[in-house]
Amino acid sequence: MTVSDSTARAPLPCALPDSPLANAAAGLDACVHCGFCLPACPTYVNLHDENDSPRGRLLLMRRLLDGELPPDDPDVGAHMDRCLGCRACETACPSGVPYGELLEATRATLREARPTPFVARVVLGVFRRQSLLTVALLGARLLRATGLPRLLARVLPPRMAFPFAMLASTAPVRLPKGHGVVTLTPALKADAAVTMLEGCVMQGLFAHTNHATARTLRATGHTVAFTRGQVCCGALHAHAGDLDSARALARRNIAAFERTPHALIAVNSAGCGAMLKEYGHLLHDDTDWHARAQAVSARVRDVSELLAGRLAPATRSTEPSPAPRLRVAYDPPCHLMHAQRITREPVAVLAALPGVELVPLMDADQCCGSAGIYNLVEPDTSDAVLEPKLRNIADARVELLVSGNPGCLMQLGAGLLQSGSVTRAVHPVELLDAALQRGADPEHPLSSR
Ligand code: SF4
Ligand code: SF4
């Protein structure tokens, strides 16, 4: 039965005209309230409150627009703050609701009416200023080198110790010696030009992963050029609703990457990759920058996209192996799996590693609770989301947990360290780099490089 025009409720006038949320409202109309997204949502699964589910939050957004709730309503703010922005609801949604865009627009709208928490203001301020960020990351590296963070992670009360455990977990992991060599695909095109997003946290705390990325790209037939003038990608600011800062940082990166116009942009941090791929959307109403942003976004590739097609799957013998296999589990970063929809390529990279047994991880598609600075500003919910993940990792009985995002590596690494686990968290590229360095395929045309 259809509702006649005479009985249909007239749409309410928009209570927040010209706000970011009002401008994104078309996405809100796509929700049919089916609830398919609920079991995918880590906050709903762990907190059991409809207001902490995607469907509930979308309803809150609608009520904000209809004027039924004011933008300074503390409960609305709390439910929006508790969202991880993991976008698992987007993958689960059959109606194509652009939840990530709606969340950013809502946070940008609420930001006008309620103050940003102090910790978030400090972190976002530091990440906005390159010189401050460089000093902060240098200080963090010096502190890490003393070994104090690892000690404090063990002796302080768990929540106070967590930031130290996160810092300790950024140190390079000594990878076990494996066996066998990685085989490159025979007919690949050599000398594909790439440049790398260095990334602020990646370059500041995971420089070893950046070096491993450059080596693996070269070893698989890419020429790697470096691009000067890069800054933070702006993802933290966009997710917090500080769209002006995100746009300012995006413009600087776009100008930087225009200096290497013919190179694909390799990114080894899933959150940064998702942000760069969305620069076109971020600057969609900026006439001077929109086309430039789209051109840069179109060149962005997760490093697994560049590597997967160049590696042959390792031969798996059914005979008992002469050397013990390395048990490895893969935890896909949300911004790779749900935001970029990249699932097969990282697994293909791991499948190319001889001597590695890829162990399935229960609920691998659920967020780890890192979500940028979420674990600092929403520690209780972050802990609640991390706990089942650590249980599943323990059940998998693996030596290594791999994940291609610095936030996930720090969150999972800290959780593993504090729980006394022997499992270590590493970036998949580091594992590939170690395997490539064990020996090159002498038959391959690239082996002499
Ligand atoms: S967001 Fe999608 S999956 Fe969730 S209730 Fe709305 S239409 Fe259904
Ligand atoms: S982004 Fe993640 S935490 Fe937020 S509503 Fe969607 S599934 Fe839930």
Provide the pLDDT for residue 321: 58
Query: What does pTM read for this prediction?
Result: 0.91
Q: Are 299 and 331 in contact (CB under 8 A)?
A: no
Q: Each residue of 10-25: pLDDT tens digit?
A: 667 898 999 999 999 9
pLDDT given for residue 448 in this prediction: 31
Torsion of CA 134, 160, 382, 275, to 10 degrees: 0
Going from the Cα of 9 to the center of ligand 2, the distance in angstroms, rounded, reads 30
| CATH number 1.10.287 given to 192-308 | no
Q: How far apart are CA 270 and CA 278, in angstroms?
A: 12
In the chain, the amino acid numbered 62 is R
Q: What is the pLDDT of residues 400-413, one digit of tens each?
A: 999 999 999 999 99
Class of domain 312-438: alpha beta
Domain assignments of the chain as residue spans, ordered by start: 20-111, 192-308, 312-438
Ligand 2 midpoint to CA 24 (Å): 17
- Let me know: does 209 contact 268? Beta carbons within 8 Å: yes
Give 227-247 pLDDT, tens digit per residue: 999 999 999 999 999 999 999
Query: CA-to-CA distance for 372 and 263, rounded, in angstroms?
Result: 28
Q: Is residue 372 in contact with ligand 1, taking CB distance under 6 Å?
A: no
Query: Which one of 55, 57, 83, 338 would you pick to mutate in the ligand 2 pocket, going by the greatest count of ligand atoms within 8 A of its CB?
Result: 83
Task: Show the tokens assigned to 7.
Answer: 């009985």
**3-state SS string over the chain?**
CCCCCCCCCCCCCCCCCCCHHHHCHHHHHCCCCCCCCHHHCHHHHHHCCHHHCHHHHHHHHHHHHHCCCCCCCHHHHHHHHCCCCCCHHHHHCCCCCCHHHHHHHHHHHHHCCCCCCHHHHHHHHHHHCHHHHHHHHHHHHHHHHHCHHHHHHHHCCHHHHHHHHHHHCCCCCCCCCCCCCCCECCCCCCCEEEEECCCHHHHHHCHHHHHHHHHHHHHCCEEEECCCCCCCCCHHHHHCCCHHHHHHHHHHHHHHHCCCCCCEEEECCHHHHHHHHCHHHHCCCCCCCHHHHHHHHHCEEEHHHHHHCCECCCCCCCCCCCCCCEEEEECCCHHHHHHCCCCHHHHHHHHCCCCEEECCCCCCCCCCCCCCCHHHHCHHHHHHHHHHHHHHHHHHCCCEEECCCHHHHHHHHHHHHHCCCCCEEECHHHHHHHHHHHCCCCCCCCCCC
| 9 pocket-lining for ligand 1 (C-beta < 6 Å) | no
pLDDT at 378: 92
Q: Establish whether residue 390 lines the binding site of ligand 1, counting it when its CB lies within 6 angstroms of any ligand atom.
A: no
The residue whose C-alpha atom lies closest to atom 8 belonging to ligand 2 is 41
- Specify whether the CB–CB gap between 216 and 255 falls below 8 A: no
Q: Which residues line ligand 2 (CB under 6 A)?
A: 40-43, 54, 57, 83-89, 99
Asked whether 95 lines ligand 1 (CB < 6 A), one says yes
Give me ligand 2 centre to Cα 80, in Å.
10
Residues 114/71, Cβ–Cβ less than 8 Å: yes
Query: Which residue's CA is the closest to the ligand 1 atom numbered 7?
Result: 31
Q: Which ligand is nearest to the CA of 58?
A: 1
- Using the atom order of ligand 2, give the atom closest to the CA of residue 90: 6
Establish whether domains 20-111 and 192-308 are of one fold: no
| pLDDT value, residue 447 | 35
Longest dimension (CA), the chain: 78
Using a 6 Å cutoff on CB, does residue 436 contact ligand 1? no
Name the residue of 28, 95, 99, 102 to mutate for ligand 1: max ligand atoms within 8 A of Cβ. Answer: 95
- If you take atom 3 of ligand 1, which residue's CA is the nearest one? 93
User: Alpha-carbon distance 234 to 200, whole Å?
Assistant: 10
Q: Whose CA is nearest to atom 4 of ligand 2?
A: 83
Q: Do the Cβ atoms of 135 and 61 come closer than 8 Å?
A: no
Q: For ligand 1, atom 6, name the residue with the nearest CA.
A: 31
Q: The domain at 20-111 falls in which architecture?
A: Orthogonal Bundle (1.10)
Per-residue pLDDT of the chain (449 residues; tens, 9 = 90+): 333 444 456 667 898 999 999 999 999 999 999 999 999 999 999 999 999 999 999 999 999 999 999 999 999 999 999 999 999 999 999 999 999 999 999 999 999 888 888 889 999 999 999 999 999 999 999 999 999 999 999 999 988 999 999 999 999 998 865 556 777 776 566 668 999 999 999 999 999 999 999 999 999 999 999 999 999 999 999 999 999 999 999 999 999 999 999 999 999 999 999 999 999 999 999 999 999 999 999 999 999 999 998 888 887 665 555 566 899 999 999 999 999 999 999 999 999 998 899 999 999 999 999 988 898 889 999 999 999 999 999 999 999 999 999 999 999 999 999 999 999 999 999 999 998 887 544 443 333 33
pLDDT score of 442: 43
> d(Cα 447, Cα 449) in Å, to the nearest integer?
6
